[in-house]
Each structure stands twice: as C-alpha cells, then as structure tokens.
C-alpha cells in the first residue's frame, strides 16, 4: 500500500514558491530519502506532509488521509523530527519525555524511549546541558513515543558523532523492519545510500532525479582512478580519462570492465597502474551530477535572449 502519495504539490512562502509541483510516492514500510541542497524545498515538503502547512496546489495523501484537513488523525499516527525542536531547557531529559508522554495516546514507556534513542545515561541531564547530537537523539525519542506508523525525520543525525549516527541508523532500520514507513531528509549522502531503498533529489523546488536507489545508482557511471603513469599522455590511454590532482579518472557504466581494459593495456606496456581504485557510482556522484545539470539548466534559461 502507498503510505505517502504526492502529486503536483506546490507551496509558496510569502510569494516565494519553495515547492514547484513535485510528485512522488512512498510505499508502506519503506525508507525513502528526500535529498537536495540547502533551500531545495525539503523541509517545506515535510511540513506539508506532516500537516503543519497547507498545500497551495496539488494532492497529498498521507496514510490515505489529507494531512491538512485530517491533521488530527494524521498526527495521531505519525512521528515528526523537525530541524528545530522546541524544548524546555530547564527540564531534564526524563522530564521532557514524561511531559510529551502526557500528550501522546498509548505512549511507549519512558525507559524504552530513552533506550531506543541511546539516552539512558542522560536521563537526569538538563536539556540545556545536552550536546547538539544529544538533542537530536531526544528529538528522535519524542518522535517515537507514539509508536507511529509513519516517521518524518528531517536531518535526524545532524551534529551526531559517528557512533551515535550508526546507532540511529540501527534504530531506523529496526523500525522499518517492523513496518514503520520512514521519510528522511539528510545532507549525509552515505546515510541516504545506506538506509533508503528509494529517493527523490530536489533542487529549487523541483524533483530532478529519483526512483529506486539500486537502479538509480546502477544507471550511473562508476569510476576507475589511478595515478597517471609518468611520461604517458592521457590521450594514449585506451579509454577517455580526466586528470584530477595527478590521478587519471575514467567514468564508466561498468567500472570493472573499464579496469580490465586499462590493466590489459598497462600490462602490454610493462606499466603499473599505481593506486588503482574501482568503485560503482555513489549517491554523491549522482547528487553532484544532478546539481550540475540543474545549475546549467537554470543558467541557460537565464541567458539574455
């Protein structure tokens, strides 16, 4: 079943169109990544989906409901971790969770929420004394209190150290395994690549790329790179390369095959390809490429006629 269905969504802020007619679907139990540069419109989209803002145009269905008209019903079944949480700085972590439990129907026990977010040791600490990453974890604990069917996570691991990030990923994966649908925004592309099975990349209010994560990456060129052998002009290599910081970089849809071709060529000449690296496309390659494409498209439409 479809947990989120967005068609032609538009949303302006004081005359500025932050979201310009986007469409995407998220299946139940799926982890979906919404990616894009600063100001792309991700938070605006999440706020509409979570029922905090009303869409200007388009249709939006969340768990089969209109998130604005049916926002009480949607809120009861969703957990939201937005970028700026409004905590009371003088409350302890445990008191904060207890306060939120009071607003939540059938909440998780406090200790379970603390444990899930890795905050058990900080239960007695005042919110003002938490680090940035610990505050994000408290946000996560609060978003999980109502055992939501759908979780919106807006940059959930911003400011977390690597260990806390890994622990958060484990929690997110576990929740998805148990059937929770998760829509995640993040600037950490490795995070999106590890967690999400589908994605949409937004740029300037539009979706510019997306679909199934594995298929999307497989459709993109991987990279073979090595230190450029001395005295060999790049044009002599059997495949086209660019030279970046003394390394030859060859982009290829099948990087293993490209590496074989290059190694065979080198062996025939008694050369070694020092520091050879072969890797499939990463989300970062795809992201940089789609950003370049949209920048070029914007620039070309802005040319004087």
Ligand X SMILES: Nc1ncnc2c1ncn2[C@@H]1O[C@H](COP(=O)(O)OP(=O)(O)OP(=O)(O)O)[C@@H](O)[C@H]1O
Contacting ligand X (CB under 6 A), which of 41, 118, 146, 148?
Answer: 41
Distance from C-alpha of 207 to C-alpha of 15, rounded to nearest angstrom = 20
Which one among 16, 235, 270, 305 touches ligand X, defined by CB under 6 A?
16
Spatial contact of 19 and 42, defined as CB atoms under 8 Å apart: no
By CB under 6 A, residue 56 contacts ligand X? no
- 181 touching ligand X, by CB under 6 A: no
Stretch that binds ligand X, among 36-44, 69-77, 143-151, 217-225 (CB under 6 A): 36-44
Is the Cβ–Cβ distance between 33 and 186 less than 8 Å? Answer: yes
Which residue's structure tokens are 């925004």?
185
Chosen residue from 9, 30, 44, 140 binding ligand X by CB under 6 A: 44
Q: How far is the CB of 293 from ligand X (least distance, A)?
A: 18
Least Cβ distance, residue 48 to ligand X (angstroms) = 10
Residue 116 token pair: 């899930």
Q: Which stretch binds ligand X (CB under 6 A): 8-16, 209-217, 234-242, 264-272?
A: 8-16
Q: Specify the residue, 152 or 226, whose C-beta has the smaller distance to ligand X.
A: 152
What burial class does residue 267 get, using C-beta atoms within 10 Å of its C-beta: 0-12 exposed, 13-18 middle, 19+ buried? Answer: exposed
DSSP H helices, the chain, are 42-49, 71-77, 93-103, 110-116, 132-144, 162-177, 189-195, 213-218, 255-268, 283-302
Asked if 84 touches ligand X (CB under 6 A), the answer is no
Map residue 171 onto helix, strand or coil: helix
Supply angle C-alpha 28, 66, 205, rounded to 5: 80
> Pick from 210, 199, 217: which is nearest to 282 by CA?
217
Q: Does 148 bind ligand X (CB under 6 A)?
A: no
Position 303 contacts ligand X (CB under 6 A): no
Q: If binding is defined by CB under 6 A, does position 22 make contact with ligand X?
A: no
- Binding residues among 213-252 for ligand X as defined by CB under 6 A: none
Which of the ranges 13-21, 123-131, 217-225, 249-257 carries the binding residues for ligand X, by CB under 6 A?
13-21
Cβ atoms of 270 and 261 within 8 Å: the answer is no
> Which of 7, 8, 13, 254 forms a contact with ligand X (CB under 6 A)?
13
Per rule CB under 6 A, is residue 42 in the interface with ligand X?
yes
* Binding-residue total with ligand X (CB under 6 A): 12
Among residues 116, 217, 252, 131, the alpha carbon closest in space to that of 172 is found at: 116
Contact residues toward ligand X (CB under 6 A) are 13-14, 16, 18, 36, 38-44
């Amino acid at each position: 079943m479809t947990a989120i269905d967005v068609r032609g969504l538009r949303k302006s802020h004081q005359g500025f169109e932050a979201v310009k007619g986007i469409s995407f679907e998220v299946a139940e139990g799926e982890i979906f990544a919404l990616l894009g540069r600063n100001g792309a419109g991700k938070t605006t989209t999440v706020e509409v989906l979570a029922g905090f803002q009303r869409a200007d145009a388009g249709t939006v269905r969340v768990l089969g409901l209109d998130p604005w008209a049916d926002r009480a019903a949607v809120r009861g079944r969703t957990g939201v971790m937005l970028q700026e949480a409004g905590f009371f700085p003088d409350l302890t972590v445990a008191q904060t969770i207890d306060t939120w439990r009071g607003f939540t129907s059938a909440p998780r026990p406090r200790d379970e929420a603390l444990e899930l977010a890795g905050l058990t040791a900080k239960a007695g600490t005042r919110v003002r004394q938490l680090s940035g990453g610990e505050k994000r974890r408290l946000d996560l604990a609060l978003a999980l209190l109502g055992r939501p069917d759908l979780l919106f996570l807006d940059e959930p691991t911003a400011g977390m150290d690597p260990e806390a990030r890994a622990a958060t990923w484990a929690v997110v994966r576990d929740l998805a395994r148990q059937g929770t649908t998760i829509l995640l925004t993040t600037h950490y592309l490795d995070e999106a690549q590890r967690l999400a099975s589908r994605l949409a990349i937004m740029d300037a209010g539009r979706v510019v790329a997306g679909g199934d994560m594995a298929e999307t990456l497989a459709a993109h060129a991987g990279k073979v790179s090595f230190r450029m052998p001395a005295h060999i002009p790049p044009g002599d290599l059997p495949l086209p390369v660019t030279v970046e910081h003394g390394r030859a970089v060859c982009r290829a849809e099948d990087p293993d095959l490209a590496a074989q071709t290059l190694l065979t060529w080198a062996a025939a000449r008694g050369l070694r390809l020092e520091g050879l690296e072969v890797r499939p496309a990463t989300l970062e390659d795809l992201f940089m490429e789609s950003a370049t494409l949209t920048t070029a498209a914007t620039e070309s439409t802005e040319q004087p006629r």
